[in-house]
Amino acid sequence: MSVITISRQYASCGSDIAKLVSADIGWTLIDNELVDRVAQRAGVSREEVEIREERVSSLIERLAGALSLSSPYIYVGGSETTTTPLPDEPNLAHITETVISEAVRDENVVLVGRGAQAYLAEREDALHVFIVAPREARVKCAVERLEVSRREAEKSVDEFDKGRRKYVKVHYDRIWDDPTNYHLVLNTDEFSYREAADIIVCAAKQRGW
């Protein structure tokens, strides 16, 4: 089956675009559901997976939880404390890979985040998309949606991107924000969500999907 992976800089709204793409082509969207599946397989809570998987600090987890209230498709939230021991990081990454493999085995999917673009890099039936925006635009978005100070918004933008960059480097020895790792790089400061989704769908149709 075929897969479109959507990687995204924090607050560039890649999850919103993924939802549009999924609806347009009738494929299954797997975003936060993937975290739930990993948590179930690992025997821990969703929040515990979120904390470990993208290496987010407790302050940013709290802010992300607030962000999810206004925009659930950008959710990366978590809690500041845990009560159940987490699997070690390599083991959790392996569980994530297993869940991704299962997700793309039986149906066409639009898969958001979780290093999927790196794990599935060698698949010929994959379209890898990176959603970006200037840092200033993303900070402004975080300020508005989180209703926090600019300083806190800047910290959230930088910490999330740092975590995603580190996750991909540690587990796949790839550079998360290297544009050559993607088929499409789309800037949401230049394209609306609708326009970005249309471009992705057009690329998928060009592949005969």
Two structure tokens written together for 208: 């005969």
Q: What is the pLDDT along the chain (209 residues), one digit of tens a residue?
A: 899 999 999 999 999 999 999 999 999 999 987 778 888 888 877 777 776 655 543 334 444 444 443 343 333 333 333 344 556 677 888 999 999 999 999 899 999 998 999 999 999 999 999 999 999 999 999 999 889 999 999 999 999 999 999 999 999 999 999 999 999 999 999 999 999 999 999 999 999 99
Distance CA 124, CA 176 (A): 19
The model scores a pTM over 0.95:
no
Residue 199 domain boundaries: 3-206
pLDDT of residue 49: 76
Two structure tokens written together for 103: 């997700």
pLDDT of residue 41: 84
Two structure tokens written together for 188: 């949401």
C-alpha of 99 from chain center? 15
Two structure tokens written together for 49: 């997976």
pLDDT of residue 36: 83
- CATH number of 160's domain: 3.40.50.300
pLDDT of residue 205: 96
C-beta separation of 58 from 163 below 8 A: no
Q: Is 198 exposed, middle or buried (0-12, 13-18, 19+ CB in 10 A)?
A: middle
pLDDT of residue 64: 45
Tally of domains within the chain: 1
* C-alpha to C-alpha distances, 208 to 16, 20, 78, 127, 181, nearest whole angstrom: 24, 19, 39, 12, 22
Sole residue written with tokens 């709290």: 62
